[in-house]
Amino acid sequence: MINKQAIVQWTIAVVLAAVVITLGITGSRCAADPACSAVIITVKDSTERQYVTPGELQQQLTQTGLWPMGKPLSRIACAQIEQSLLSHPMIRRAECYELAKGEVHITVRQRQPVVLIKGDEVYYLDSDRKVMPVRATVNTPVPIVTGRIGKQQAQGEMYDFVAWLADNKFWSERIQTIHVVTPKMVELIDSKTHYTIILGHLSGAEQRLDDLQKLYEEGLAHIEHPEYKQIDLQYKNQIIGRK
């Protein structure tokens, strides 16, 4: 004859064992999948320029539902976090990774402006030749190109010319303003002598400026009150001064 009390005790024992096993499994999973306990955001080049702050990036991730704080590490999508940060107009690179102890590290690098274009549109070009918006936080001094210049010329031969200027110690200290009258008529303003240098087209401009530099060093630099207002370099092997 079956003892009802024994059946009840056995049933209770089975239920308790199941509860213990379930709690053990749950505890094991929690231990293996900790929640994010800290988010560390590093702006790698912040000592050179400060276009974004960690707080601004936290706000962006919060608004998109990607802020990882408190989430189980298994549910944190680092690839999505990186893609979201790369959509920020001032971010060039982004990296996100997790540590087993529950920390999430986010590292970003900012975009670097190379030249400011002020034509029909106003924008920067960055070190990757990509259009970069003008923001109040961007205050890095760069050459300015004004006048009738389209993006194709700006991202092509003008970018190459500005890069050459940046690498040339003599001219980088003098030329900060470039004016495009037409795509084939470019003028430079020498900030030290206040000459307007009529460069003409950009093809071969580097050699023409090398020739002018030699003339500066041999004679023009010693003239206290230059009688010329313009230096014309349009013609091959000729430097023409105009009053």
The predicted-structure confidence for 116-139, as pLDDT tens digits, reads as follows: 999 989 999 999 999 999 998 898
Q: Residue 154: what pLDDT?
A: 97
Distance CA 132, CA 109 (A): 14
Residue 66, both tokens: 């990607």
**3-state class of 186 per DSSP?**
strand
Q: Which of 208, 217, 218 is nearest to 239 (CA)?
A: 208
Q: Which of 52, 57, 189 is nearest to 132 (CA)?
A: 52
Distance CA 226, CA 51 (A): 41
Q: Are strands 144-147 and 240-242 parallel, antiparallel or unpaired?
A: unpaired
The CATH-assigned architecture of domain 113-242 is 3-Layer(aba) Sandwich (3.40)
Q: Which of 182, 178, 171 is nearest to 212 (CA)?
A: 171
pLDDT in tens, 194-203: 889 999 999 9
Q: Which of 202, 142, 150 is nearest to 176 (CA)?
A: 142
Per the CB < 8 A criterion, the answer to whether 84 and 61 are in contact is: yes
Q: Residue 13: what pLDDT?
A: 45
Domain with CATH 3.40.50.11690 in the chain: 113-242
**Which of 40-49, 113-122, 179-188, 216-225 is predicted with the least confidence, judged by mean pLDDT?**
216-225
Q: Which long-range contacts (CB under 8 A, 24 or more apart) does 75-81 make?
A: 76/36, 76/104, 78/104, 81/106
Element (H, E) at 12: helix 4-32
Distance CA 219, CA 225 (A): 12
**Which of 15-29, 34-48, 97-111 is predicted with the least confidence, judged by mean pLDDT?**
15-29
Domain with CATH 3.10.20.310 in the chain: 38-110
Which CATH class name applies to 38-110? alpha beta
Give the phi and the psi of residue 148 in degrees, each rounded to 5.
-90, 85
Q: Cβ neighbours of residue 82 under 8 Å, at least 6 residues apart? A: 94, 95, 96
Q: Which residue type does 59 have? A: Q
Q: Residue 201: what pLDDT?
A: 94
Residue 185, both tokens: 């008529």
